[in-house]
Amino acid sequence: MKKSILILVLALTSIFTFAQNEKYVSMMEKTVAEMEAAKTAEDYQKAANVFERISNAEGKEWLPAYYNALCNVNLASLAMRGGESDKIVPFVDKAQTALDQCIALVPNESEVFALQGFIYTSRIWADPMNGGATFSPMAHKAFGQAIALDAKNPRAYYLRGQLVFYTPEFWGGGPKNAHKDLAAAAELFKSFEPNSSIHPNWGIGGNAYHLGKAEETVKKEKEGK
Amino acid sequence: MKNFLSTFLILFFSLAGNAQVSITGIVSDKNETIIGANVFLKDTYDGASTDLDGKFSFTTEEKGTQVITITYIGYENFEQSIEIGSYDVEITIQLKAIANELNEVVITAGAFEASDEKKAVVLNSIDIVTTAGALADISSALNTLPGTQTVGEEGRLFVRGGAASETRTFIDGMFVQKPYSSSIPDVPARGRFSPFLFKGTIFSTGGYSAEYGQALSSALILNSQDLPDETTTSVSLMTVGANLGHTQRWDKTSLSVSGGYTNLAPYTSLVKQDLDWIKPFQGADGQIVFRHKTSETGIFKFYASGNRSWFSLNNRDLSDINKMNRLDLTNDNYYLNTSFKEILNEKWTLFTGLAYTYDRDVVNESFKVNTKEQSAQAKITLSNQINDQMSLRFGTEYMHNTFDEHFTSSDGTVFNTDLNEDYTAGFLETDFYFSSKLVARVGGRLEYSDILKSWNIAPRTSLAYKTSSKSQVSLAYGQFYQNPENDLLRFNTAVDFERADHYMLNYQLMKDSRIFRVEGYFKKYQNLVKYDTATPWMSSNQGDGYAKGVDVFFRDRKSIKKGDYWISYSFLDTERDYRDFPIAAAPTFASKHNLSLVYKHWIHKWSTSIGITYSHASGRPFHNPNLEGFNAQRTNSYNDLSFNASKLTNIGGNFTVFFFSISNVPGFKNNFGYRYSTIPNNDGVFEGRAVQPNAKRFFFVGMFMQIGEKFDKENTVKPPE
């Protein structure tokens, strides 16, 4: 009898644990989809909040904190485009706090360093005239680390290409100089398979957009000559 | 046993069952509801975001004691235990804003800060380099801020009716005895320190901290750079000289060595000069900068510089302005500044510093002067964060100064001066944060001067109150003491400290990228040294004076795309009865109205930044001995329109800047005052002559190249569209 109780308890616990894991995955899948469909700041904030809750409940998972960071960078980007430059830094700070959790959990994850580079890039938005001097080298270093950890991570190339794309030409930036990274990212996106349904699998659209612009510039230049 | 099993199952299903409880409520700040706050039960998935009305609602199956958590950007995390039974829960929560630099009250009375690290500042360090007309000279750039007077023939900072000597320069908290190059009357001096050495500048036009003493009017506080980012070599070529520097960066240590040579001869041969140069200004200088991070939080800094400069010209005789005498000046200057800063623990921060200055001027005219000044200073400061509401800073310093001068007049009379000063001071200052809206700083400084055989105690206090999230009001009061200058002490040391009391009221509004500041002040001078020209050894502290006025500053980085401008206006009303003044009068350096307009524009297509500065100063007092009254005449007003342009580019993969600058583009005819012969001519008339800029315009062309600098460094990244 004692044995059967033990079995029963074990069985129930495993069902419970399994249910919990399924709940995690389904909740993550749902919220990732919401994030991908997000248009407004409210949408992103809602998704960020859900990721924060999951991250809080599932202390050992890095993905909820990763997406929380990503949502906050997107919020910073929306604030910048909406001309609310004083809101950028608080969002970026929040993104950095969330990403610090990721770095502690998975110190050798290429995706985390790619996002780190993106966070540094977003710090430039807050102060475009002066921020570049400090944060551009830091972003480049983080992208370099991401590529060193996984040379096939398309987001590392895409986000670096994007940074170069908006860097003035005389400092080696501009669409033409960004072409190489963006093209490399496009190639990697083609064969990219995420580790699971909830692992990072974003950026293909943004990359295609910037690559298109870069190709246009290259073409125009050739015609000009 | 079956009984037990069924109990277990019932218990299990009741736990996992659908006994949902709804939790609703409102999240707000003091006045406004908060949209998008994250409300949830800690360690569960249950939660929601607040809607447009700050309302939230979610259901949970959790029971018993749970922790409700709320997070929102810019606010402190909220946590509270709640009991969840079978009834719905309704809760209203007020979040507390995080006290940070942008919304926390800071004392702003008197201080203009240029910093790259803090956000709530008036200027960035780069502004000092890019202000037209400033030619990368710190003092010239700060002269576009309110509270300063344009005194073109001096090149130093004159603040709120104070003489140049009333502004003291500090590097990393240590006195700088000779911040300007050696010069003679009517030849403007230039700052000795490159603006690139500093990460932050605080220019205080009054009411500054008790940490700083020996300055009646103003403190210029320069904070040097920490470790440089990387190893680089830089070269600059200018119409007036060349510089070469190399910085080596290791993990925790850096060493920079640089040197320069300046020669104005080629330039003065091309552009007509008012002065009759024999050997135009030449100079050679060298610097060593060493940095070492002693720990995660500790840094040791070492700076040493050596400089020699010399020039010769035909100088107008002081007693007879029609007579010219050859004058030769040679200056040697060495400066050493070392400091160590460490955060000892959560509460205590330690700072120690040592500084040494050696300066020697040799002047040969019909008279000869050989002046040697030395200064050694040691300082230690401790700060303690007692709690969130209170912090304490205190420190002590000791300085030994010597002034040794041999003067031989044209008739061979020798006058030797030998002054030795041992100066000891201590200060203590406490900041009380009554709330994130109200802060008070109360402190004082105690000084003892051995040469004056006198001590003083100077209370300083300031208060700041945040009137809204973007605006604040500051008040400041303080007493300031300074030793009389050596050229007064050389005749008589039986005098006391000179004293100034500051009263200030400041209002500041910062919104988006616009800043508006207005500050009214009253400064009362007392114990100023006064003497009769015939008997300077009978000087006494019977002089006094006042300065009052209003300073206005407006900067706007938002209205014009890629453009940035600021406007400074100062109104000054001052009179003093000091030195050899027969009556109370406005001194010659005090103009009533000063206005500066600074505009900067970035032209993306040409990767060029251009700047325009317009300065205006109303007429300055001067004394015409042929007329009634003292300092009763006024010069014409001063006007200047300077232009500069910097083109950023790459040469062979090296980051390069070309710059061009020109002062007084429209060719305004300015004069700074008049000099009169001290002896009348045969007709009994004191002959006079206008003091003018050395040349109508000043051109400057140069290039700066950083070798090994990568492309992506120091860039201006445009945000994604």
**B387: number of Cβ within 10 Å:** 8
**Which contiguous run of DSSP H or E holds residue B512?**
none
Note whether residue B622 is domain-resident: yes
> Are B49 and A85 in contact (CB < 8 Å)?
no
Note whether residue B238 is domain-resident: yes
**Which contiguous run of DSSP H or E holds residue B177?**
none
- Pair B219, B161 in one domain: yes
> Are B719 and A125 in contact (CB < 8 Å)?
yes
Query: What is the spatial distance between Cα A145 and Cα A110, in angstroms, rounded to a whole number?
Result: 7
- Pair B534, B683 in one domain: yes
Query: What is the spatial distance between Cα B567 and Cα B299, in angstroms, rounded to a whole number?
Result: 38
**Which contiguous run of DSSP H or E holds residue A191?**
helix A175-191
| Type of residue numbered B273 | Q
Note whether residue B280 is domain-resident: yes
Which of these, B83, B283, B90, B107, lies nearest to B183 by C-alpha position? B283
Nearest to B713 among A57, A86, A136 (CB): A136
> Are B717 and A166 in contact (CB < 8 Å)?
yes
Q: Which burial class, exposed, middle or buried, applies to B224 when counting CB atoms under 10 A from its CB (0-12, 13-18, 19+)?
A: middle
Which residues are paired to B544 by β-bridges? B577
- Pair B299, B155 in one domain: yes
Pairing of strands B514-532, B535-556: antiparallel
Q: Which residues of chain B are within 8 Å of residue A165 when distances are taken between CB atoms? A: 720
Nearest to A57 among B44, B48, B71 (CB): B44
Residue of A nearest to B721 (CA): A81
B651 vs A182, which has greater pLDDT? A182
Which of these, B253, B277, B275, lies nearest to B263 by C-alpha position? B277
- Pair B539, B514 in one domain: yes
**Which contiguous run of DSSP H or E holds residue B498?**
strand B498-511
Q: Are A77 and B720 in contact (CB under 8 A)?
A: yes
- DSSP class of B1: -
> Are B49 and A46 in contact (CB < 8 Å)?
yes
A interface mutation test: which of B557, B716, B718 has the most A CBs within 10 A? B716
Structural domain ending residue among the three candidates B94, B126, B144 = B94
Q: What average pLDDT score do residues B93-100 get?
A: 77
Range of the domain at B684: 111-707
| Type of residue numbered B274 | D
Mind listing the pLDDT tens digit for each residue in B155-165? 899 999 999 99
- DSSP class of B317: -
Q: What is the structure's pLDDT at B115? A: 65
Residue of A nearest to B655 (CA): A171
Percentage above 90 pLDDT, chain B: 58
Residue of A nearest to B98 (CA): A90
Note whether residue B703 is domain-resident: yes
Nearest to B71 among A50, A52, A85 (CB): A52
Q: Which residues of chain A are within 8 Å of residue B607 when distances are taken between CB atoms? A: 168-170
> Are A129 and B602 in contact (CB < 8 Å)?
yes
- Pair B204, B308 in one domain: yes
Percentage above 70 pLDDT, chain B: 93
Q: Are B517 and B108 in contact (CB under 8 A)?
A: yes
Q: Are B234 and B228 in contact (CB under 8 A)?
A: no
- Pair B463, B504 in one domain: yes
Mind listing the pLDDT tens digit for each residue in B388-398? 788 999 999 99
What is the residue whose two structure tokens read 């507390």?
B96
Query: What is the spatial distance between Cα B369 and Cα A160, in angstroms, rounded to a whole number?
Result: 64
Q: What is the structure's pLDDT at B104? A: 63
Nearest to A132 among B49, B710, B714 (CB): B714
- DSSP class of A87: G
- Pair B465, B551 in one domain: yes
User: Using H for helix, E for strand and C for coil, what is the string for B199-232?
Assistant: EEEEEECCCCCCCCCCCCCEEEEEEECCCCCCCE
Q: Which two tokens stand for residue B128?
A: 């000092």
Q: What is the structure's pLDDT at A4? A: 64
Pairing of strands B21-28, B89-94: parallel
Which of these, B316, B367, B163, B325, lies nearest to B691 by C-alpha position? B316
Which residues are paired to B334 by β-bridges? B306, B358
Instruction: Give every CB contact of residue B597 below 8 A, 6+ residues apart in sequence.
Output: B565, B566, B567, B612, B613, B614, B615
Q: What average pLDDT score do residues B177-181 get?
A: 92
Nearest to A136 among B604, B715, B718 (CB): B715
> Are B717 and A94 in contact (CB < 8 Å)?
no
Q: What average pLDDT score do residues B405-432 get?
A: 94
Chain A: give the shortest CA distance to residue B35, in Å: 8
Q: Which of B171-180, B337-346, B584-593, B599-608 has the lowest mean pLDDT?
A: B599-608
CATH of the domain at B403: 2.40.170.20
Q: Which residues of chain B are within 8 Å of residue A50 when distances are taken between CB atoms? A: 47
Residue of B nearest to A53 (CA): B45
The b/e string for B521-538 (b: 16+ C-beta within 10 A; e otherwise) is bbbebebbbbbeeeebee
β strands within B347-491, DSSP E: 348-364, 368-387, 390-408, 414-433, 438-449, 454-466, 471-482
Which of these, B112, B107, B212, B221, lies nearest to B462 by C-alpha position? B107
Residue of B nearest to A27 (CA): B45
Residue of A nearest to B6 (CA): A5
Mind listing the pLDDT tens digit for each residue in B195-235? 888 888 889 999 999 999 999 999 999 989 898 877 889 89
Residue of A nearest to B607 (CA): A170
Q: Are A34 and A54 in contact (CB under 8 A)?
A: no
- Pair B292, B151 in one domain: yes
Q: Are B557 and B514 in contact (CB under 8 A)?
A: yes
Q: Which residues of chain B are within 8 Å of residue A134 when distances are taken between CB atoms? A: 116
pLDDT, mean over chain A: 88
Which of these, B117, B118, B141, lies nearest to B129 by C-alpha position? B141
Chain B: give the shortest CA distance to residue A103, in Å: 20
ipTM: 0.85
Q: Which of A95-109, B101-115, B345-359, B499-513 has the lowest mean pLDDT?
A: B101-115
> Are B717 and A131 in contact (CB < 8 Å)?
yes
> Are B718 and A128 in contact (CB < 8 Å)?
yes
User: Using H for helix, E for strand and C for coil, what is the string for B230-293?
Assistant: CCEEEEEEECCEEEEEEEEECCCEEEEEEEEEEECHHHHHHCCCCCEEEEEEEEEEEEEEEEEE
Mind listing the pLDDT tens digit for each residue in A135-173? 888 899 999 999 999 999 999 999 999 999 988 776 778
Q: Is the confidence at residue B121, as pLDDT, over 90?
A: no
> Are B42 and A56 in contact (CB < 8 Å)?
yes
Nearest to A45 among B12, B49, B513 (CB): B49
Sign of CA dihedral A99, A104, A106, A110: positive
Q: What average pLDDT score do residues B139-157 get?
A: 89
Note whether residue B422 is domain-resident: yes
Nearest to B711 among A42, A134, A172 (CB): A172
> Are A171 and B38 in contact (CB < 8 Å)?
no
> Are A128 and B40 in contact (CB < 8 Å)?
no
Q: Are B523 and B505 in contact (CB under 8 A)?
A: no
Q: Is the confidence at residue B245, as pLDDT, over 90?
A: yes
Note whether residue B29 is domain-resident: yes
Q: Which of B279-283, B384-388, B578-582 has the lowest mean pLDDT?
A: B384-388
- Pair B69, B149 in one domain: no
> Are B720 and A162 in contact (CB < 8 Å)?
yes
Q: What average pLDDT score do residues B57-64 get?
A: 89
Q: What is the structure's pLDDT at B11? A: 44
> Are A53 and B717 in contact (CB < 8 Å)?
no
The b/e string for A112-143 (b: 16+ C-beta within 10 A; e otherwise) is bbbbbbbbbbbbbbbbbbbbbbbbbbbbbebb
Q: Which residues of chain A are within 8 Å of residue B116 when distances are taken between CB atoms? A: 130, 134
> Are B650 and A85 in contact (CB < 8 Å)?
no
Nearest to B712 among A45, A48, A140 (CB): A140
Residue of B nearest to A48 (CA): B38
> Are B73 and A172 in contact (CB < 8 Å)?
no
Chain A: give the shortest CA distance to residue B648, in Å: 7
Note whether residue B32 is domain-resident: yes
- Pair B266, B361 in one domain: yes
> Are B45 and A53 in contact (CB < 8 Å)?
yes
A13 pLDDT tier (thresholds 50, 70, 90): low
Query: What is the spatial distance between Cα B238 and Cα B280, in angstroms, rounded to a whole number?
Result: 16
What phi-psi label fits residue A83: left (phi over 0), alpha (psi between -120 and 50 degrees) or beta?
left
> Are B715 and A130 in contact (CB < 8 Å)?
no
Q: Which residues of chain B are within 8 Å of residue A128 when distances are taken between CB atoms? A: 716-719
Q: How many domains does chain B have?
A: 2
Helix (H, G, I), strand (E, B) or coil at B391: strand
Q: What is the structure's pLDDT at B630? A: 94
**Which contiguous run of DSSP H or E holds residue B596?**
strand B593-603
> Are B713 and A171 in contact (CB < 8 Å)?
yes
A25 pLDDT tier (thresholds 50, 70, 90): very high
- Pair B308, B233 in one domain: yes
Structural domain ending residue among the three candidates B60, B94, B128 = B94
Chain A: give the shortest CA distance to residue B718, in Å: 5
Chain A: give the shortest CA distance to residue B461, in Å: 32
Query: What is the spatial distance between Cα B462 and Cα B469, in angstroms, rounded to a whole number?
Result: 20
Q: Are A128 and B708 in contact (CB under 8 A)?
A: no
What number of residues does chain B have? 721
Q: Which two tokens stand for residue B590?
A: 């005090």
Q: Is the confidence at residue B638, as pLDDT, over 50?
A: yes
> Are B719 and A94 in contact (CB < 8 Å)?
no
Nearest to B45 among A57, A86, A121 (CB): A57
B interface mutation test: which of A171, A176, A210, A211 has the most B CBs within 10 A? A171
> Are B655 and A164 in contact (CB < 8 Å)?
no
Chain B: give the shortest CA distance to residue A45, in Å: 6
- Pair B380, B492 in one domain: yes
Which of these, B544, B516, B546, lies nearest to B530 by C-alpha position? B544
In chain A, where are the structural domains located? 32-126, 152-225
Backbone angles phi, psi at A82, to 5 degrees: -85, 5
